[in-house]
């Protein structure tokens, strides 16, 4: 078995992505939209091994279904904040900003889904729509509803990115 896996893996590595997609369709009986070569190789090898050695036992499948049924999964979306409940003010932070970071008084603008997000940099925080936030990340999360790195969201240069690229300030 180990030798056949090794030879099969070597053969799959020699294939192009379109060839791997065809092989995937043969093994799984359905096409894939994935074009990541390593992922396709791993999935094809896994399926071939499962077909050769056998898949999960019926007992293991029943147990997996039991565990999935017992899991506490949120079935409804979180409630939207109540308008007029008051401003959200978070604790201030120490000014340990990079020299390239915008100075207090600067205004950051970013277009997002047809609207312009305007943020004013304060000495100890950021103001957005009359509310003071501790970080740009908090504003980006408020605006998008998802976690974003605030520096990346507003397109600011990050100190980490400068170190990787070798930019000197």
Per-residue pLDDT of the chain (169 residues; tens, 9 = 90+): 566 888 999 999 999 999 999 999 999 999 999 999 999 999 999 898 888 888 788 899 899 888 877 766 666 776 666 665 555 544 444 456 666 678 888 888 888 888 888 999 988 889 999 899 988 899 999 988 888 888 888 888 765 655 555 555 4
How much is the CA Rg of the chain, to the nearest whole Å? Answer: 26
Between the alpha carbon of residue 117 and those of residues 84, 110, 129, the distances in Å are: 20, 5, 9
Query: Cα separations (Å) of 24 from 7, 12, 17, 29, 148?
Result: 17, 11, 10, 8, 35
CB 90 within 8 A of CB 132: yes
pLDDT for 40 equals 95
Report the alpha-carbon distance of residue 135 to residue 124 in Å, rounded: 9
In this prediction, residue 105 carries a pLDDT of: 86
What is the predicted pLDDT for the residue at 21? Answer: 96
The pTM for the full model equals 0.39
């Amino acid at each position: 078995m180990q030798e056949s896996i090794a030879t099969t893996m070597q053969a799959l590595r020699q294939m192009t992505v379109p060839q791997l997609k065809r092989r995937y369709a043969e093994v799984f009986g359905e096409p894939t939209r994935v074009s990541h070569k390593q992922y396709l190789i791993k999935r094809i090898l896994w399926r071939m091994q499962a077909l050769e050695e056998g898949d999960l036992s019926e007992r293991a499948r029943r147990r997996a279904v039991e565990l999935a049924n017992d899991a506490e999964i949120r079935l409804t979306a979180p409630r939207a904040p109540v308008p007029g409940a008051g401003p959200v003010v978070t604790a201030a932070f120490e000014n340990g900003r990079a020299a390239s970071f915008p100075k207090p008084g600067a205004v950051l603008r970013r277009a997002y889904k047809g609207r312009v997000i305007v943020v004013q940099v304060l000495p100890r925080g950021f103001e957005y729509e009359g509310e003071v936030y501790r970080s740009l990340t908090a504003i980006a999360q408020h605006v998008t509803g998802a976690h974003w790195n605030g520096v990346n969201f507003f397109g600011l240069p990050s100190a980490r990115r400068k170190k990787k690229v070798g930019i000197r300030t």
